[in-house]
Amino acid sequence: MFATYLIGLREGLEATLVVSILVAFLVKSQRRDRLPQVWAGVGLAVALSVLFGWLIEYTSTSLLARSEDRELFEAVTSVAAVVFVTWMIFWMRRAARTMAGELRGRLSEALAVGSVAVAGMAFLAVIREGLETALIFYSAAQGAAGDSGPLLALIGGIVSAVAIGVGLYFSALKINLSTFFTWTGALLILVAAGILKYGVHDFQEAGVLPGLNDLAFDITGVLDPGTWYAALLAGMFNVTPAPSVLETVAWVAYALPVLLIFLRRPAAPARPAPNTAVEPSGPAAPGTESSTTSGTGPATASPRA
């Protein structure tokens, strides 16, 4: 359940920050009359995300009668979820510094067009997070079919994210968002590795990949599947005591290189060579400004800043 809670927390906080930026911009711009359109777009995005999640579950449980087809469907959705997770964490690390400015710019353009454009802009800003959450949640919760625990954990993560977002908006809470997204990103990579391992297992059960009974190791004597810690490892990262060779290869081949790339500090931008030429003193040219940045972004963030 920790995996689905983490998914809800991470995706929920991203969506909450987006909404907070839009709301804060309208409030500061004295355009509170457009807030209903923003909330309408957000509500529609949430509704379609829930519908998408239900459609995936309905397709798996009701439309696919053969177990082989069901296993293949779950395998394909698992691989798709891994792709989305990987893209999301790297995109967020790259776009975090410019996201607020881009959102404000798009909202300014939408305000000039009309209320429908404002609602559409809010919808598009949130729907990506919602669809990702639905797909990743389905893939992460496959091992707990029929149990409401993962869904409750997901809802708990989203509620926690909303609470954090509200605290940031009203400046009642300050957190290091860079550290938060780094740690949650690293944990999500391990969750994604487990989802990929589960997908490989489904491919094997569907007969697409061989080696279902070729075990890489068997430590059931040490890691009893019936114990709470074995269930915790399986639920969080799909670490099982008797995986197949292909499952183990997939888990290691994804987790290790992606973690190393993600945790590696990005190269600092090259500094321009100092200009030793003597220039006449005087006011700066119009449109130019002087600024110094560390390249690491703010330690804390507030959508109202």
Has this prediction a pTM greater than 0.85? no
Least confident of 36-40, 266-270, 285-289: 285-289
Overall average pLDDT of the 216-236 stretch:
80
pLDDT exceeds 80 at position 248: yes
Q: Which pLDDT band holds residue 97 (cuts at 50, 70, 90)? A: confident
pLDDT exceeds 60 at position 299: no
Sequence-distant contacts of 206-211: CB under 8 A, at least 24 apart = 206/68, 206/69, 206/71, 206/72, 206/75, 207/68, 208/72, 208/75, 209/246, 210/246, 211/244, 211/245, 211/246
CA angle 177, 52, 188 (to 5 degrees): 30
Q: Which pLDDT band holds residue 274 (cuts at 50, 70, 90)? A: low
pLDDT exceeds 50 at position 305: no
pLDDT, position 246: 94
pLDDT exceeds 90 at position 178: no
Nearest CA-CA partner of 14 in 237, 303, 305: 303
pLDDT, position 289: 38
pLDDT, position 273: 52
Per-chain mean pLDDT for the chain? 81
Nearest CA-CA partner of 243 in 254, 251, 235, 232: 251
Q: Where are the domains of the chain?
A: 2-263
